[in-house]
Structure 1
Amino acid sequence: MATDFWTAVQNRRSVYTLSNESTISDERIQEIVEDAIKHSPSAFNSQSTRLVVLLGEQHNKLWDITTSVLKSIVPADQFESTQQRLNGFRGAYGTVLFFEDESVIQGLQAAFATYQDRFPTWAQHTNAIHQFVIWTALEAEGLGANLQHYNPLIDEQVKSEWKLPENWSLVAQLVFGKPTAPAGDKEFKPVDERLKVFK
């Protein structure tokens, strides 16, 4: 990787000013996502996360769909700011869609009844790990990203457009591209209020 792990963790931020350029090849992007899906941990080794990478016109199509859906529900006098935000996402290089396979979760619930109420939460943990790994790996390669949650508003259109299984539940959308400006300043709450160590 281009930077060491902790530098990438510290630099991983929500970057909203992105161009439709990439610092790495499409093949490298795919390799990062493949490595994340193979090596990210999951409860009971469920491997329930599903990923879709959208590049080029496929990426544009996602944000056209999202724009169309939101235009139908956001009041016209409030849509301009929404449109500007969506244009920013569309102007990026690509998007990774994060899903959970509900059939895997339901199968675990049936097999391990004692924990059945916990599996949906654990699946979200698994998905979040995938999001963090991919986001940080893209940062290490010089790309910026931001995480969006237009689900469930766009779920059915997304599944229909890319012919995805009905049992895939959309969790998040990671927009990425070459940064054109740095992330804003970040304030940190005191660590001693958030961490306890007992020896």
Structure 2
Amino acid sequence: MSWQNFLNAVKERRTYYGISNELTVSEKEIETIVEQAVLHAPSSFNSQSARVVLLFGKQHEKLWNIAKEQLRKIVPAEAFAQTEAKIDSFKAGAGSVLYFEDQAVVKGLQEQFAAYADNFPVWSNHSSGMLQFVVWTALEQTGLGASLQHYSPLIDEDVRNEWGLPENWKLIAQMPFGKPVAQPGEKQFSPLEARLKVFR
């Protein structure tokens, strides 16, 4: 793959809120994408602290039912219809990728390299962000649309209990995906000259 092809894939990645439960590729192919991303996305000190849960179908719907019921507890009744519609738009998808960071790994690095202890939680988040981007961009290349959501810590305990996950897995983000049924709006860009400086 040339760098131009890679950057084209980067450019094509967008946020899709309108998705259906159709898939453009098989569940197995999506599993392979996530598997390869987990293996090869970079991490600080090669810590490999990322943990991922991939949900399809009814399991995916269960996630967004959890989110809806937790939000129902805190969102005023008169405003809940809008919140419910938003959650249902994620639930309408075909699956979700849940991104976690293993805090046992982070703590181990803090103990092993005390001079950098304050940095490891930050670097852990950097690693997760890179993994999210790799998966998101790859899903886009299959014709699927996705978005990145953050309903932590509201849903953390229910998610951990529902799927029997370890206490030390910290939920970072949720990525619902499916076949796009609505196109994203035009992307606006801040002036590049205010964002990039080159010195020779």
SS at the partner of 1:23?
Answer: coil
TM-score normalised by structure 1 residue count: 0.98
User: Which residue is 2:119 aligned to?
Assistant: 118
Shift of 1:73: 1.1
> Structure 1: how far apart are the matches of 2:20 and 2:9?
20
User: Which residue is 2:31 aligned to?
Assistant: 30
Shift of 1:11: 1.1
User: Which residue is 1:84 aligned to?
Assistant: 85
User: Which residue is 1:193 aligned to?
Assistant: 194
TM-score normalised by structure 2 residue count: 0.97
Deviations 1:20-45 (A, max 9, x none): 00100000000000000000000000
User: Which residue is 1:12 aligned to?
Assistant: 13
User: Which residue is 1:94 aligned to?
Assistant: 95
User: Which residue is 2:156 aligned to?
Assistant: 155
Shift of 1:182: 1.1
SS at the partner of 2:148?
Answer: strand
Matched letter for residue 132 of structure 2: Q
User: Which residue is 1:49 aligned to?
Assistant: 50
Deviations 1:89-128 (A, max 9, x none): 0001110000000000000000000000000000000000
> Structure 2: how far apart are the matches of 1:84 and 1:144?
18
User: Which residue is 1:129 aligned to?
Assistant: 130
The alignment status of 1:70 with 2:89, answered yes or no, reads no
Consecutive unaligned residues of structure 1, counting only runs of 5 or more, are none
Shift of 1:7: 2.0
* RMSD, aligned CA: 1.2
